[in-house]
């Protein structure tokens, strides 16, 4: 199964991946509208860039083989999809308890406070290649099967 692998040797900390993620998950698919209007109603990127001195890296859900979030989910909203191998999220089942956010040891789940639901990478369902991988100007994110 293909996942997004980060390379912290070549991440330049530009945060363009976060913007691409935001655009890909927006209604308008327009970066300017996504930032100015859709963020106000809770749209957030699933990617987060972490920095420590000169080193930086962009991380998002690992789609673990044995996800801690699925283990912790009290409503079955998070589940492992047998076919694709992805860790999927059904927003309609979610009650916003934040158990998954706490349980994920990689900190990959965030809150969407205005919706009371979570934000988690879905490997850009419907796209050939995740938006973050496509937008990275320095090939610091790769989409591969290891």
Partner 1 sequence: MTYVIVGNGVASVGAIEGIRKLDKEGNIVVVSEENTPTYGRPLISYFLAGKIGLDRMSLRPDGYYEKNNVELKLGSRVVGLDTGSKTLALSNGESVSYDKLLLATGGVPFMPPIKGLEGPGIYNFTTLAHAEILLDIAQNIRNVVVIGGGLIGLKAAEGLFDNGLKVTIVELGPRVLSAAFDDVAGKMVSRRLETEGLGIRCGSTVEEVLRGPSGGINGVRLASGEIIACEAVVVAIGVVPSLTPAKEAGLNIRRGIKVDEFLHTSAEDVYAAGDVAEAYDMITDDVRVTPIWPNAYSQGYYAGMNMTGKKHEKHPGGLAMNAISFYGLPTASLGMVNPAPEEDCEICTYADEEKQTYRKLVFRNDRLVGYVLVGDIDFAGLYTGFVRFQLPLSDEIKQELKDGRPSALLWPEHDFETRWTPDHE
Partner 2 sequence: MLFKPISQNFNDFVIDRDKERCINCEVCVRQCSYEAHFWDDARQCVNHDNTKCVGCHRCEALCPTGCLTIKKNPADFRDNALWTPTYMKYLYKQGDTGGILLSGMGSPSAKPIYWDNLQLDASQVTNPSIDPLREPMELRTYLGSKPDNVEVEQTPDGPKLKTKIGPQVKLEYPMMFSAMSFGSINFNLHKAMAMAATELGIVYNTGEGGLHPTLYKYGANTIVQVASGRFGVHKDYLNAGAAIEIKVGQGAKPGIGGHLPGEKIDEEVSKTRMVPVGSDAISPAPHHDIYSIEDLLQLIYALKEATEYRVPVSVKIAAVHNAPAIASGIVRAGADIVVIDGFRGGTGAAPTMIRDNVGIPVELALAQVDNRLRDEGIRNWASLVVAGGTRCSADVIKAIALGADAVYIATAALVAVGCTLCGRCYTGKCPWGIATNEARLKKRQNPEIAAKRLTNLVRAWGHEIQEMLGGMGLNSIESLRGNRDKLRGIGLNEVELDILGVKHAGR
Does position 68 interact with partner 1 (CB under 8 A)? The reply is: yes
Q: Which is nearer to partner 2, 20 or 119 (CB)?
A: 20
Mapped onto helix, strand or coil, the DSSP state of residue 20 is: helix
Does position 144 interact with partner 2 (CB under 8 A)? The reply is: no
Q: Judged by CB under 8 A, which of 28, 41, 84, 93 binds partner 1?
A: 93
Q: What is the DSSP letter of 65?
A: S
130 torsion bin: left (phi>0), alpha (psi -120 to 50), beta (else): beta
Q: How many other β-carbons are positioned within 10 Å of the β-carbon of residue 138?
A: 13
C-beta of 132: minimal distance to partner 1 in Å? Answer: 15
C-beta of 1: minimal distance to partner 1 in Å? Answer: 10
Q: Which is nearer to partner 2, 30 or 91 (CB)?
A: 30
Q: How many other β-carbons are positioned within 10 Å of the β-carbon of residue 100?
A: 25
C-beta of 39: minimal distance to partner 2 in Å? Answer: 10
* DSSP codes of every residue in 9-25: TT-----HHHHHHHHHT
* DSSP codes of every residue in 76-106: S-EEE-TTT--EEE-GGG-----HHHHH-TT
Q: Which stretches of the chain bind partner 2, using CB under 8 A?
A: 9-16, 19-20, 31-32, 35-36, 53-55, 135, 137-140
Q: Which stretches of the chain bind partner 1, using CB under 8 A?
A: 5-6, 8, 50-52, 55-57, 59, 62, 64-66, 68, 71-72, 74-76, 93, 95-99, 101-111, 146
């Amino acid at each position: 199964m293909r996942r997004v692998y980060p390379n912290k040797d070549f991440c330049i900390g530009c945060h363009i991946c976060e913007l691409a993620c935001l655009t890909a998950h927006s209604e308008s698919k327009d970066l300017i509208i996504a930032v100015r209007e859709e963020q106000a109603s809770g749209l957030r990127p699933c990617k987060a860039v972490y920095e420590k001195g000169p080193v930086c890296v962009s991380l998002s859900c690992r789609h673990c083989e044995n996800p801690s979030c699925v283990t912790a989910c009290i409503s079955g909203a998070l589940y492992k999809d047998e076919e694709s191998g992805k860790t999927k999220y059904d927003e309609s089942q979610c009650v916003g308890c934040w158990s998954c956010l706490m349980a994920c040891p990689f900190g990959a789940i965030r809150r969407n406070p205005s919706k009371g639901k979570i934000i988690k990478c879905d490997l850009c369902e419907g796209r050939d290649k995740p938006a973050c991988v496509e937008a990275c100007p320095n090939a610091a994110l790769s989409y591969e099967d290891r």
